Amino acid sequence: MDIGKLVAIVDDEPDILELVSLHLVKAGYTTKKYELAMEFFDALPQ
């Protein structure tokens, strides 16, 4: 995975997560989706 093109998406609506991810992947980005902000914060390196 090219960390330079990784985009984290945080939203509580699964449909929005999928839509945003779909367009970013088509543009050449790798995405990681989170429905909860705490999941995103827990995934950040310490």
Span 6-37, pLDDT tens digits = 999 999 999 999 999 999 999 999 999 999 99
- Does residue 46 surpass a pLDDT of 90? no
In the three-class reduction of DSSP (H, G, I as helix; E, B as strand; rest coil), residue 16 is classed as: helix
Rounded to an integer, what distance in angstroms lies between the CA atom of residue 40 and that of residue 34? 6
Q: What is the CA radius of gyration of the chain?
A: 11
pTM: 0.83
Chain CA centroid to CA 5, Å: 11
pLDDT class of 5 with cuts at 50, 70, 90: confident
State how beta strands 30-34 and 6-10 pair: parallel
What does the pLDDT look like over 35-44, one tens digit per residue?
Answer: 999 999 999 9
